[in-house]
Amino acid sequence: MKSGIVASGVVSTVVGVVILLLSIMTVPYTTSRLEEVPYSTVWINESFVVPEYHFYYYYNLVNFSSEDTLHINFNVTEGGSVDFWVMNETNFAKFNLSQSFYYYVVPSRSSISKLDVLWFPPSNQ
């Protein structure tokens, strides 16, 4: 009987210590509540300077589907006109090596200062 009382006292003490430790320990905050993330279809909205005889490029890792449409819009604000070419990664590498390359005729343009065009990129490219 004495051993039962001692065992009960030990178990109660251990439970009390565990409860005390849990009450003072920091537990990371977790929740299953859903949070709304604002959706935007704008990939790039920025101003930048391209020095004369240089280029600026944007590399996209998204594979387009047959339903995707890109709205490409820009204005050259200083320095005249630019050549705007849209090409795949292979042809961009050739361009960088000063080799002959291919580009998508639409939406690409030469010697322009403004562009506002909708383009349907090839699927899975």
pLDDT (tens digit per residue) in 55-74: 888 877 677 777 778 888 88
In this prediction, residues 3-9 reach a mean pLDDT of 73
The pTM of this model reads 0.59
Long-range contacts of 60-68 (CB under 8 A, 24+ apart): 63/123, 63/124, 63/125, 64/121, 64/122, 64/123, 64/124, 64/125, 65/123, 65/124, 66/120, 66/123, 68/120, 68/121
